[in-house]
């Protein structure tokens, strides 16, 4: 039996390429099959990694024999459908955040994961950061610890440009309201950290401001949340 666990990759844009580069040096995981809706992304990927095979489509990739898991790095809209196809095929799923733009589909999928014991994770990459570990440790020391008694939390995001330059090669979806915007793309990471430390958060109020074109993502957001009984203030904006 091979010492490697074979991973299929769907979505070969900015994040798909980053994951392929990481997998290339991994001791236990190995990318074997890839697919992207854009044939040019597939061609570029095969040129860089000639050992990979391109599937005929997402369903064909997921149904192929020998795969252990699927990494999904498409924009958010297809995440749920692809995850469920992978669960049907017995694969573990590592899905990029945000989980989805369809809350009902997400709730159904989370129930399924819990009911069937499916193996699934969302890539909130701060989960393994030393900063989060330090924050959790300090928080657990309580009022006598370095944080003292927490009165409130403030999360402030300010972008000189949206999308950010390192992700400028991503599709138009990133700057559009339906799937993109910095609230989903970036604030979600800090709400993840907030919930890891303080527990589940609820949104008390939110005021996003959108450009008048009806299509583009938010330019600013003011929101009030509460987590673990502590008020949380969010202020975010793009220049
Ligand atoms: N975890 C993190 O830190 C982090 C950072 C950046 C982005 N992301 C997330 O990763 C995902 C991808 O972001 P990106 O920056 O790589 O975007 P991108 O636009 O660079 O790449 C997306 C790729 O998916 C392909 N695609 C679109 N619809 C598809 C479909 N239905 N089936 C197959 N392929 C499809 C596109 O052709 C494109 O090549 C997003 O959900 C984003 O929010 C996560």
- Report the atom number in ligand 1 closest to the C-alpha of 17: 16
For CATH 3.40.50.720, list the domain ranges present in the chain. 5-123
- Cis peptide leading into 163, omega within 30 of 0? yes
pLDDT digits (tens, 9 = 90+) for 152-172: 999 999 999 999 999 888 889
Mutating to test ligand 1, I would choose from 20, 74, 165, 180 the residue with most ligand atoms within 8 A of its C-beta, which is 74
Answer yes or no: is the C-beta of 167 below 6 A from any ligand 1 atom: yes
Residue 1 has pLDDT above 70, yes or no: no
Q: How far is the CA of 201 from the centre of ligand 1 (A)?
A: 26
Give exposure, 101-134, as e/b (b: 16+ Cβ within 10 Å).
Answer: beeebbeebeeebeeeebebebebeeeeeeebee
> What is the pLDDT, as a whole number, of residue 2?
74
String of DSSP letters for 108-174: HHHHHHHHHT--EEEE-GGGG-HHHHHHHHHHHTGGGSTT-S---EEEEEEESSSS-GGGTTS-GGG
Residue 205 has pLDDT above 70, yes or no: yes
pLDDT digits (tens, 9 = 90+) for 18-53: 999 999 999 999 999 999 999 999 999 999 999 999
Read off the pLDDT of each residue in 45-62 and give the average, rounded to a whole number: 98
Residues 6+ apart with CB under 8 A from 158: 236, 237, 238, 239
For CATH 3.30.360.10, list the domain ranges present in the chain. 129-238
Pick the CATH number of 5-123 from 3.30.70.20, 3.40.50.1820, 3.40.50.720, 3.40.50.740: 3.40.50.720
pLDDT digits (tens, 9 = 90+) for 213-235: 999 999 999 999 999 999 999 99
Mutating to test ligand 1, I would choose from 9, 10, 11, 164 the residue with most ligand atoms within 8 A of its C-beta, which is 11
CATH domain 129-238 topology: Dihydrodipicolinate Reductase; domain 2 (3.30.360)
Contact, 31 vs 57, CB < 8 A? no
Answer yes or no: is the C-beta of 58 below 6 A from any ligand 1 atom: yes
> What is the pLDDT, as a whole number, of residue 171?
86
* Separation CA 220–CA 232 (nearest Å): 17
pTM of the model: 0.95
Residue 201 has pLDDT above 70, yes or no: yes
Helices (H), the chain: 14-24, 39-48, 58-63, 79-88, 103-116, 130-140, 182, 188-198
Residue 148 has pLDDT above 80, yes or no: yes
Read off the pLDDT of each residue in 67-86 and give the average, rounded to a whole number: 98
Task: Quickly tell me which residue has 């959790």 as its tokens.
Answer: 136
Neighbours of 8 (CB within 10 A): 26
Please tell me whether residue 175 adopts helix, strand or coil conformation: helix
Q: Nearest to residue 180, comparing CAs of 160, 208, 203?
A: 208
* Separation CA 173–CA 179 (nearest Å): 6
Mutating to test ligand 1, I would choose from 12, 14, 43 the residue with most ligand atoms within 8 A of its C-beta, which is 14
Residues 6+ apart with CB under 8 A from 135: 193, 197
pLDDT digits (tens, 9 = 90+) for 106-143: 999 999 999 999 999 999 999 999 999 999 999 999 98
């Amino acid at each position: 039996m091979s010492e490697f666990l074979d991973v299929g990759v769907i979505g070969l844009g900015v994040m798909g390429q980053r994951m392929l580069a990481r997998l290339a040096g991994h001791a236990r995981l190995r990318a074997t099959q890839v697919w992207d809706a854009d044939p040019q992304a597939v061609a570029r990927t095969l040129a860089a990694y000639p050992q990979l095979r391109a599937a005929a489509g997402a369903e064909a990739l997921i149904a192929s024999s020998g795969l252990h898991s699927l990494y999904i790095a498409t924009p958010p809209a297809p995440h749920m459908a692809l995850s469920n196809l992978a669960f049907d095929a017995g694969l573990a799923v590592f899905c990029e955040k945000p989980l989805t733009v369809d809350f009902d589909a997400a709730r159904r999928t989370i129930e399924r994961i819990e009911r069937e014991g499916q193996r699934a994770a969302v890539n909130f990459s701060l989960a393994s950061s030393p900063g989060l570990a330090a924050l959790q440790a300090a928080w657990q020391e309580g009022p006598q610890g370095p944080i003292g008694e927490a009165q409130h939390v403030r999360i402030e995001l300010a972008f000189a440009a949206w999308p950010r330059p390192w992700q400028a090669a991503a599709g138009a979806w990133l700057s559009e309201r339906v799937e993109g915007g910095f609230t989903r793309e970036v604030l979600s990471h800090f709400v993840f950290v907030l919930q890891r430390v303080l527990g589940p958060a609820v949104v008390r109020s939110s005021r996003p401001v959108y450009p008048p074109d009806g299509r583009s993502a938010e330019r600013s957001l003011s929101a009030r949340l509460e987590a673990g009984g502590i008020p949380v203030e969010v202020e975010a904006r793009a220049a």
